Structure 1
Amino acid sequence: MATQAPSTADAPPSPWPTVVRAVVLLTAVISVLLTAFAWPSVRSSAHGVPIAVAGPGSAVEQVGAALDQRLPDGFAITEVADTAAAERLIRDREVYGAIDVTSGAPRVLVASAASAAVAQTLQSVATGLGQAPGQAPAQGGGAPPAVRDLVPLPADDPRGAGLAAGALPLVMGGMLAAFLLSRLVRGTARQAAGALAFAVTGGLAVAAILQFWLGSLDGSYAANSGAVALAIAATSLSIIGLESLLGYVGLGLGAVAMMLVGNPLSGVSTAPEMLPGWSGTLGQLMPPGAGGQLLRSTAFFDGHGATSSVVVLVTWLALGAVLCLAGGLRARRVGKHP
């Protein structure tokens, strides 16, 4: 006669040390979550943001000294001879903006599509530079310099909210794809094929929403879709590869890396150079950061500045493929030798 397992109500309560361990674990988890998402925002400031200064050497030195006084180590300055050279660097995504002192009073050149936060910061610190070249810049109270936005954000989304908000769904989409495919589809090759197929359809859908409905993107729809698809594929395939090799541990490691490291350090809502210390550089080496920068390049800069982001994403994609291959070979060996 079969015996019935005791119900939960009949089971003895957990010992108090178990409760204490659970509370300690939850406290650690919430502390990590808060640190991961709040620390980059609270410590956000300009850190070596590349800009250009156009004008004579003496004027460039004075402007650089004034900027360093207002925001120490905030900008990495490239000296150029004229306005055209500064504009070219901005459009090629080599700098975020420029201060032009070639014709008397300083003018500020920005590209809000590259980073609205950097554009606002540059305008703010440039206030008070309204002196003629050869004179010491004003130390406060100067008239704001004229501002020209070379690459503005779309009129339907002038704050860039859609692009910033789209970073999290891209990460979640890649993670969700990895989780569902690893649970619902058997066979590493079929899981990888599903991830790549979803990357294409997801890229088309996300780019269509951002570009045609929300008006957050300009440029080529095909290029924008490709940028989103590459980011999703790099995220999902790398997590699937980890899961195929390490099981649930790999799935957890991939999710933590993308959600708690890659997403908050992506710099999509501001700029990588606005994040504290080394975090901006680290963020650009992960799919969320590289994907966000690639999408900015395709949407607003005709693909300029996209090379490094493409290299990062393709590297993650290749890593995921290698992990999937290793996981598949391991599964076959285990199957042959139980």
Structure 2
Amino acid sequence: MKAPQPTRGRVLSLIWFPFFFAAAMSVLYLAAFAHPEPHDLRLGVIGTAPAHLPPGFATEAVTGTGGVADGDLAAVYDSATSTLYVASAASGTRADYLTAVLHPATTVDLVPVASGDVSGVSLFFYGLPMLLVGLITSIVLLQFGMWPVRRKVATIAATGAFATVVAFTAGVARDVIPADGWLLLYGFLLTQAIGWLTSALPRLVRQFFMPVAMTFVLILGIPTSGATVNADMLPAPLGWLHRVLPFGQFIEAARASAFFGGHGLAKPLTVLVAWAVGAALLLAWTARPAVVVAVPQEVIEPGHQRLHGTVRSTAGIPVAGATVLTLDDGGNELVRTTTGADGSYQVDDVRTGLHHLVVTAAHHEPEIVTVAVHRRRAEPARDIVLTDWNDPAGNLTADEIGARRSLI
């Protein structure tokens, strides 16, 4: 038997994403990293402001360098001594840019990066595993679609804790981040926010899970992080996304805690916590059990039984209109019925012995269940799960689908 092939519409609904991924990543990553330009870059000035500043600078008169030490200002320029005060811990790229533009006689780094961070971007690579582990865990959990939500949450917590501890230990051992214990909390919070959010997506967007999740985490999350190029040197739309997306706010929280004594920590931490709370609520909402309407039981004659249950997809959604075919042990058709709006079915007057239930539904893989019907025992509900073609957890190959269909 020739294996069934997907329709053209289904192919197009999935195959568009690699093209979009390549185009979007090329445009956004090059816009963010290739040619940084200031956008509302705050420069403090002691004395006279430098002449011929490029567009995008916001200068303000100051009397000291405290704004740089606290992370509020990008830099302070002292015109009397032609000295530029920067904080490379806030952004090494920005510090180098300001030095190249202002040509100071002396550049003073008030808040340097950790001694092992030669490139100045180690904070980004420290945070990257914690960003990705939540997404990867949710992809793996697609293979366990019938796990209860508590088990999924426990798995996300385990992988998140492992990634957080390993990344922190490696970063401190290489002296690329300070040994600030609060980073463990912020990192774990990021892993849970991403893991919970992406684990809730399959129920909402179904076959579009990968495009939505990877767009959120990779295409938007990385170039707007502000870790390699600070937010005030990103294009305005990316700078705005930096202020609301979880990875960018994790970077800001980690930077404020580790290098600036907690100054400016409240805002990014609040945004990060809000993402975690929202993701937890969304996951709980998508994992809510389906409402099952109780059907009054009718009296069945002695020697006969009723087979009943509910047909659901791997996402836990009731499948209405599914065909339930009851065969005896010899393969002879006995009864044919369909499921109701709530996915329930029942077959009355079933004799004792071995029977087979063959369940089929449009856009679902068929399922065969063998049941033994007993004479003097009330039959329990025979709930059946069908693999939905549009469910990312339904990952049968075409050959496997053909083999299963040949059984019916």
TM range (shorter): 0.7 to 0.9
Cα 1:116–1:324, aligned 2, differ >3 Å: closer, same or farther?
A: same
Q: What fraction of aligned residue pairs are identical, expressed as a percent?
A: 22
Partner of 2:240: 281
Residue equivalent to 1:76: 58
Does structure 1 residue 111 correspond to structure 2 residue 94?
no
Deviations along 1:90-109, one digit per CA (max 9) or x if unpaired, are 222211221124xx322111
Structure 2 SS opposite 1:108: strand
Q: CA deviation at 1:36?
A: 2.9
User: Alpha-carbon deviation of 1:248?
Assistant: 4.1
CA shift in 2, pair 1:109/1:179, >3 Å: same
Shift of residue 228 of structure 1? 1.5
Letter in 1 for 2:162: T
Structure 1 CA distance, aligned partners of 2:115 and 2:272? 30
CA contact (8 A) 1:297 1:304 kept: yes
Whose strand proportion is higher, 1 or 2? 2
> Structure with the greater relative contact order (CA < 8 A, sep ≥ 6): 1 or 2?
1
Task: Pick the aligned partner of 1:33 from 10, 20, 25.
Answer: 25
Aligned to 2:355: none
CA contact (8 A) 1:54 1:99 kept: yes
In 2, Cα distance between equivalents of 1:180 and 1:251? 12
- Residues 93, 301 of structure 1: 8 Å contact kept: yes
- 1:6 is aligned with what amino acid? K
Once the two structures are superposed, residues 151-183 of structure 1 have per-residue CA deviations (whole angstroms, 9 ceiling, x without a partner) of 111221132232233343332212112222343
Question: Which residue matches 1:46?
Answer: 38
Matches within 5 A, 1:85-96: 86=65, 88-96=66-74
Change over 3 Å in CA distance of 1:310–1:26 after alignment to 2: closer
C-alpha contact 2:122 2:176 (8 A) present in aligned 1? yes
Query: Shift of residue 209 of structure 1?
Result: 1.0
Residue 296 of structure 1 aligns with an amino acid whose one-letter code is R
1:27/1:237 CA distance change after superposition, 3 Å: closer
Unaligned runs of 5+ in 1: 128-143
User: 1:228–1:291: 8 Å Cα contact kept in structure 2?
Assistant: yes
Tell which deviates more after alignment, 171-180 or 236-245. Answer: 236-245
Give the conservation status (yes or no) of the 8 Å contact 1:110–1:147: yes
Matched, 1:216 2:176: yes
Q: Deviations over 1:230-265 (max 9, x none)?
A: 221221111112234444434542232111111122
Partner of 1:181 in structure 2?
A: 141
Compute the TM-score of the two structures, normalised by the length of structure 1: 0.77
- Unmatched segments (≥5 aa) in structure 2: 293-315, 319-341, 344-408
Distance 1:227 1:124, change over 3 A: same
Q: Which has the higher helix share?
A: 1
Alignment RMSD (CA, Å): 3.0
Distance 1:330 1:177 in 2: 23
CA shift digits 1:48-84 (9 cap, x unpaired): 11222234xxx2xxx15x1xx23122x2223222x2x
Q: Which of the two has higher C-alpha Rg?
A: 2
Aligned counterparts of 2:134 and 2:14: Cα–Cα separation in 1:
30
| 1:266, distance to aligned residue in structure 2 (A) | 1.4
Residue 166 of structure 1, aligned match among 121, 126, 141: 126
Corresponding residue for residue 265 of structure 2: 306
Q: Structure 1: how far apart are the matches of 2:113 and 2:188?
A: 22
Distance in 1 of aligned mates of 2:11 and 2:267? 48
Deviation at 1:335?
6.9
**Alpha carbons of structure 1 residues 294 and 162: separation in structure 2 relative to 1, 3 Å:** same
1:27, distance to aligned residue in structure 2 (A): 4.3
User: May I ask how many residue pairs the two structures share in their alignment?
Assistant: 295
Contact 1:240–1:320 under 8 Å retained in 2: no
Contact 1:117–1:271 (CA under 8 A) maintained in structure 2: yes
* Partner Cα separation in structure 1 for residue 283 and residue 202 of structure 2: 8
Structure 1 residues 215 and 72, CA gap change in structure 2 (3 angstroms): same
